[in-house]
Amino acid sequence: MAAVDPIHFESVYKLFPTLTLLQVTDACLYSTGATYREIGELRGVSSETIKKSLEAAQKRLSISGLQSLKVVFLSRLFIDLSLPISNPKCSDKVRADDFDLLLSDTRHFESLLPELPAKLVSIVLFYCSGYDMARISALTRKSADEIVKALEMAMARLKVETEHSLRQVTLARLIINLTLGSRKKKNQ
C-alpha cells in the first residue's frame, strides 16, 4: 500500500480543474521538493510514471518547464489562502468554482504588487496561477497581444527579466503577505 493516498489532495484538486487528481497529488509533492523517485515511492509507482504525470500536468497548464510548475502550483495555493475566508462566497465549493471571479477582485491583493495598477495585478495573478492566454483573455476581456504587453509592463515595473522570475516574485510576495496577514490576526 502506498504512503500517499490521492484522496487527501481533493481540496487542492478543486483549484486545478484541468488536472487529474493524481497529477495534483504529484504536483503538490513535487512542489515541496520531492524528487520523481521519492514521489514514486510514496505513491507506489515508478519514477518514470511520476515524470510523465508531471509533464502532462505541465502541458495541461500550458507551462514551460517543471520549475514553473512548482511556482504556478504554489501561487494558486497561496492565492486561495489569501482570499478572505469570512466572505460567504468563499466556501470550498464556491472558491473552486469561482476562483477566477474571486481572483479578478483585486481588492484582496492591493498590497501584493503596489507597483502595478489594479487591472494589471489581476492579469499577473491569472498568469502566475497558470491560466493560459485564452483563459486570461476571456476573463479580462483583453486580447492576447494586450495581455503580453501587460505582462511586459509588469516585468519592467517589477524589474524582472523573465516570465518565470515574474512568477517567482509574485509567489514570494504572496507568501510574505499571507505570513504578515496571519501575524496581524494573531496580534489583534
**Residue 20 clears pLDDT 80, i.e. is over it:** yes
Q: How far apart are CA 107 and CA 122, in angstroms?
A: 10
- What DSSP string runs through the chain? --S--GGGGHHHHTT-TTS-HHHHHHHHHHHTT--HHHHHHHHTS-HHHHHHHHHHHHHHTT-SSHHHHHHHHHHHHHHHHHS-TTSGGGSHHHHHHTHHHHHH-GGGGTTTSTTS-HHHHHHHHHHHTT--HHHHHHHHT--HHHHHHHHHHHHHHHT--SHHHHHHHHHHHHHHHHHHHHHHHHH-
What b/e readout covers 114-146, taking b as 16+ CB neighbours within 10 angstroms?
A: eebeeebbbbbbbbbbbbbbeebbebbebeeee
- Position 103 scores a pLDDT of 63
The residues spanned by each domain of the chain are 6-60, 66-187
| pLDDT for residue 182 | 54
Give the whole-angstrom CA distance, residue 29 versus residue 41. 12
What are 118-166's pLDDT values in tens digits?
Answer: 888 889 988 998 888 888 898 888 999 999 999 999 999 999 999 999 9
Residue 176 or 154, more confident: 154
pLDDT over 50 (residue 184): yes
CA of residue 159 relative to chain centroid, distance: 21
| Nearest Cα to Cα of residue 73 among 38, 30, 136 | 30
What's the pLDDT tens digit per position in 45-90? 999 999 999 999 999 988 888 889 999 999 888 887 776 544 444 4
Instruction: Inform me whether the pLDDT recorded for 44 exceeds 80.
Output: yes
